[in-house]
Amino acid sequence: MCRRAVVHHAHNSDGQPQRGASHDRQQFCTDIMEARSAGSVSKFMLERKSLGGVSAMMIRRQIMWAASVCAIVLCMQVSIQSVGAEPVLASSLGSCKPVPVLKGAPLHCCLPEPKRAPIRFKFPRIPRTSSGRPILRERKPAHVLSKDPEYVRKYNLAYERMKALPDTDPRSFYSQWRVHCSFCNEAFQQRKTPGPLGPETGVLLQVHYSWTFLPWHRMYLYYHERILASLINDPTFALPFWNWDNQLDKDAAKMPAMFFPDFGVPNAALFDEFRNSNHFPPKILYLGYNSKLEAEGQQNLTDQQIKYENLCVMYNQVTTKVSARDFLGGPYVVGTDNSAATVNVSAGEVPGESGGMESVHNVAHEWTGLINDPDHPDNEDMGNFIFAARDPIFYTHHSNVDRLWDVWKTLPDKITKSGHRKRMDYNSRDFLDSEFTFFDENQDMVIVKVRDSLNSAKLGVKYTDVSESDNLWINYEPMPAQESSKTCNASDYPKPSPHGDNYIGTDPVSFKLDRRAPTNKDCQEKGLSNVDELQENVVLEKVKIPHADYARFDMFINYPAAHRQSHLYMAEYVGTFTHLPSGMVDMSNSVSETSSESEKYRIVTIRYSVNAALKRLGITDYNTDIVVTIVSKGKRNSSPKSGFEFSDLKQDFQ
Interface with ligand C2O (CB under 6 A): 180, 184, 208, 217, 361, 365, 385, 388, 398
b/e burial code for range 136-167 (CB count within 10 A of at least 16 → b): bbebbbbbbbbeeeebbbbbbbbbbbbeebee
Q: Which helix (H) or strand (E) holds 577?
A: strand 573-579
CB of 462 to ligand C2O, least distance (A): 21
Longest dimension (CA), the chain: 70
CA 401, CA 407: separation in Å to the nearest integer?
10
CB of 239 to ligand C2O, least distance (A): 14
CB of 217 to ligand C2O, least distance (A): 6
DSSP β-ladder status, 601-609 and 502-504? unpaired
Q: Which residues contact 60 (CB under 8 A, 6 or more apart)?
A: 410, 465, 467
CB of 619 to ligand C2O, least distance (A): 35
Q: What's the start-to-end Cα distance of the chain, in Å?
A: 39
Distances (CA, A) of 474 to 48, 303, 425: 11, 20, 19
Kindly tell me which of 377 and 383 has the beta carbon lying closer to ligand C2O.
Answer: 383
CB of 398 to ligand C2O, least distance (A): 6
CB of 353 to ligand C2O, least distance (A): 16
Angle at 363 between CA 391 and CA 386, to 5 degrees: 40
Q: Which helix (H) or strand (E) holds 9?
A: helix 2-9
Number of H helices and E strands in the chain, helices first, is 19, 16
The 8-class DSSP code of residue 457 comes to G
Q: Is 489 helix (H, G, I), strand (E, B) or coil?
A: coil
DSSP β-ladder status, 461-463 and 137-139? parallel
CB of 183 to ligand C2O, least distance (A): 8
Kindly tell me which of 358 and 599 has the beta carbon lying closer to ligand C2O.
Answer: 358
Judge whether 509 and 630 are in contact, CB under 8 Å: yes
Kindly tell me which of 191 and 365 has the beta carbon lying closer to ligand C2O.
Answer: 365
Kindly tell me which of 388 and 531 has the beta carbon lying closer to ligand C2O.
Answer: 388
The 8-class DSSP code of residue 141 comes to B
Judge whether 433 and 120 are in contact, CB under 8 Å: no
CB of 106 to ligand C2O, least distance (A): 19
The 8-class DSSP code of residue 431 comes to H
Kindly tell me which of 389 and 504 has the beta carbon lying closer to ligand C2O.
Answer: 389
CB of 571 to ligand C2O, least distance (A): 30
CA proximity to 305, closest of 625, 598, 588, 566: 566
Residue nearest to ligand C2O (CB): 184
CB of 357 to ligand C2O, least distance (A): 10
CB of 162 to ligand C2O, least distance (A): 19
Q: What is the dihedral of CA 9, 14, 18, 22, to 10 degrees?
A: 40
Judge whether 204 and 95 are in contact, CB under 8 Å: no
Kindly tell me which of 110 and 232 has the beta carbon lying closer to ligand C2O.
Answer: 110
Kindly tell me which of 90 and 388 has the beta carbon lying closer to ligand C2O.
Answer: 388
Kindly tell me which of 395 and 476 has the beta carbon lying closer to ligand C2O.
Answer: 395
Q: Which helix (H) or strand (E) holds 406?
A: helix 393-410
CA 336, CA 224: separation in Å to the nearest integer?
28
CA 248, CA 181: separation in Å to the nearest integer?
34
Kindly tell me which of 389 and 481 has the beta carbon lying closer to ligand C2O.
Answer: 389
Kindly tell me which of 6 and 404 has the beta carbon lying closer to ligand C2O.
Answer: 404
CB of 181 to ligand C2O, least distance (A): 9
3-state secondary structure 203-214: EECCCCCCCCHH
CB of 179 to ligand C2O, least distance (A): 10
Kindly tell me which of 584 and 612 has the beta carbon lying closer to ligand C2O.
Answer: 584
CA proximity to 202, closest of 213, 194, 191: 191
Kindly tell me which of 180 and 390 has the beta carbon lying closer to ligand C2O.
Answer: 180
Kindly tell me which of 101 and 248 has the beta carbon lying closer to ligand C2O.
Answer: 101
Kindly tell me which of 155 and 385 has the beta carbon lying closer to ligand C2O.
Answer: 385
The 8-class DSSP code of residue 374 comes to T
Judge whether 440 and 226 are in contact, CB under 8 Å: yes
Judge whether 111 and 434 are in contact, CB under 8 Å: no
- Give 160's Cβ-side CA count (13 Å radius): 10
CB of 552 to ligand C2O, least distance (A): 16
Kindly tell me which of 101 and 184 has the beta carbon lying closer to ligand C2O.
Answer: 184
CA proximity to 245, closest of 38, 139, 402: 402
CB of 497 to ligand C2O, least distance (A): 34
For every residue of 336-361, DSSP letters joined together read --TTSTT--GGGT---B-B-HHHHHH
